[in-house]
Structure 1
Amino acid sequence: MRPAALIFDVFGTCVDWRTSIAREVETVLPQVNALQFADAWRAEYQPAMERIRSGNRGYVALDDLHRENLAIVAERFSVELKDPSDLAGAWERLVPWPDVVSGLNVLKRKAIIAPCSNGSIALMTRLAKFGGLPWDCILGADIARDYKPKPLVYTNCCAVLRLDPAQVMMVAAHNDDLLAAAGCGLQTAFVPRRREHGPDQRTDLQPTGNWTVVAADFMELAQAI
């Protein structure tokens, strides 16, 4: 069945967060190793969300978690930020992978396209403006008020589009994201980003599940559906 909608992981799948964040860190904090700082900042991402997923904290938008995590990492690197909010906003200025904008424009002619990201609606909207991502609407964590891979994030995306999960395809470069979506009845597409974590990446180099589609990039994905 051709999907009526495709929903996308964004950080890593659609945009190169590591290089983009490091570039801004290098400008603001030239005294630190920018890639190490970017990796350390990203490493706080899952623990911060897990406190919410586990029920130990109420829902907090990712924008605020990024600012909190930035303070943690800045202290670890022994640096002081004159304007933390400016660097925290770097997550709204991430550069898309080369195939993404052209691929999304082709996919948009075939189906509804929307992010299913842990980023807030505000963050995803500004990121789309920055990178030219042609979404039809913005879905994801803010709709569910929870974080992937909790099932409600995926099923709420389907519900607000008034589609059955089987009519919706989750697109991600992360096998665990697809496993969670498949468990909710969605179709799945794996598009690897083998340098998301740099040249020494060891995870998500290959599909680890029986996904609906495996494609080298978004243009190949558009040809496959």
Structure 2
Amino acid sequence: MGAGECAVSRFDSVKALVFDVFGTVVDWREGIARDAAPVLAQLGRQDIDPRAFADAWRRRYQPAMEECRSGRRPWTRLDVLHRENLDGVLQDHGIDPAQLGEAALDDLNRAWHRLDPWPEAVAGLTRLKRRFIIAPLSNGNIALMTNMAKRAGIPWDAVLGAEVVQAYKPQPEAYTRTAEVLGIRRDELCLVAAHNGDLKAARAAGLATAFVPRPTEHGPGQATDVAPSEAWDAVGRDFQDLAAKLGC
């Protein structure tokens, strides 16, 4: 039996695919840079590369969630954390957030709601939806996931957000409570992600795993997550290839 056949047989019992979103489904770096560029220009800060600004904002993502994961802070929606992180990254660049005003800050923060999918993502998800329930398993909140899907035409069967599980990946509860919410066993749920660490945590929680690389998520010089680090249950070049391998 070949590797493709093994993957298909493992998925005979899988009922739902849930997806990491930032980086796996959508290109956060280009989307944030697109929305940041006119704001930085308005501030007269053409010296700041919008993609570098996006990277700096994203670097605050994990530390902010770790405050919640560790219990040092109550669970807090990602929109709130992103907004606090935006103030911090502006200040890091010598910009007083008050220069923009609350309305402009809130609009820029909602750039995370307006991210574009990778070119084949919607078509691939549409194929996968024929056989499986599909939904996000993201650290993003429900409003963020809903607005993103509505704008981009992402065909989720259900819109789940971190409010549902009250946990941030890679906490085990983020994975196990998602299976509970969908009314299925853990081994009937598969996480699809471009991040090996996310998949490792999902596997430890009892989920099936599928890796799809996004080798330019962090730009052209990306050195992480360009290939699978373990023998995941399925590996696809992109969502279309994954759909073909899973018989969709």
Same fold (TM over 0.5): yes
Alignment partner of 1:52 is 2:68: yes
Match for 2:220 among 188, 194, 199? 199
Tell me, what secondary structure is at the counterpart of 2:81?
A: helix
- Contact 1:10 1:115 (C-alpha < 8 Å) held by counterparts: yes
Alignment partner of 1:99 is 2:110: no
- Larger-gyration structure (1/2): 2
Higher relative helix content: 2
Aligned residue pairs total: 225
Q: Read off the aligned partner of 1:10 and give its amino acid letter.
A: V
Higher relative strand content: 1
Identity across matched positions, percent: 52
- Contact 1:8 1:171 (C-alpha < 8 Å) held by counterparts: yes
State how 1:113-132 maps to structure 2 within 5 Å.
Answer: 113-132=134-153
1:31-60 Cα deviation digits (max 9, x unpaired): 222111110000000000001001100010
- Contact 1:140 1:157 (C-alpha < 8 Å) held by counterparts: no
Alignment partner of 1:151 is 2:151: no
Between the aligned partners of 2:158 and 2:242, the Cα distance in structure 1 is: 20
Match for 1:5 among 4, 9, 16? 16
State how 1:126-141 maps to structure 2 within 5 Å.
Answer: 126-141=147-162
Tell me, what secondary structure is at the counterpart of 1:114?
A: strand
1:158-199 Cα deviation digits (max 9, x unpaired): 001111111111000000000000001111000000000000
- Contact 2:137 2:161 (C-alpha < 8 Å) held by counterparts: yes
Q: Read off the aligned partner of 1:221 and give its amino acid letter.
A: L
Q: Which moved more, 1:32-41 or 1:73-82?
A: 73-82
Between the aligned partners of 1:201 and 1:215, the Cα distance in structure 2 is: 19
Question: How many Å apart are 1:81 and its aligned residue?
Answer: 2.2
Alignment match, 2:100 = 81
Q: Read off the aligned partner of 1:57 and give its amino acid letter.
A: R
Q: Read off the aligned partner of 1:58 and give its amino acid letter.
A: P
Runs of 4+ in structure 1 off by over 2 angstroms are 79-82
Question: How many Å apart are 1:150 and its aligned residue?
Answer: 0.3
- Contact 2:17 2:189 (C-alpha < 8 Å) held by counterparts: yes
Match for 2:52 among 26, 32, 36? 36
State how 1:200-215 maps to structure 2 within 5 Å.
Answer: 200-215=221-236
Q: What TM-score, normalized to structure 1?
A: 0.98
Between the aligned partners of 1:37 and 1:185, the Cα distance in structure 2 is: 37
Q: Extract unaligned runs of 5+ from structure 2.
A: 1-10
Question: How many Å apart are 1:140 and its aligned residue?
Answer: 3.9
Alignment match, 2:4 = none
Tell me, what secondary structure is at the counterpart of 1:117?
A: coil
Between the aligned partners of 2:242 and 2:221, the Cα distance in structure 1 is: 26
Q: Read off the aligned partner of 1:190 and give its amino acid letter.
A: F
- Contact 1:13 1:173 (C-alpha < 8 Å) held by counterparts: yes
Alignment match, 1:69 = 85
Q: Read off the aligned partner of 2:231 and give its amino acid letter.
A: N
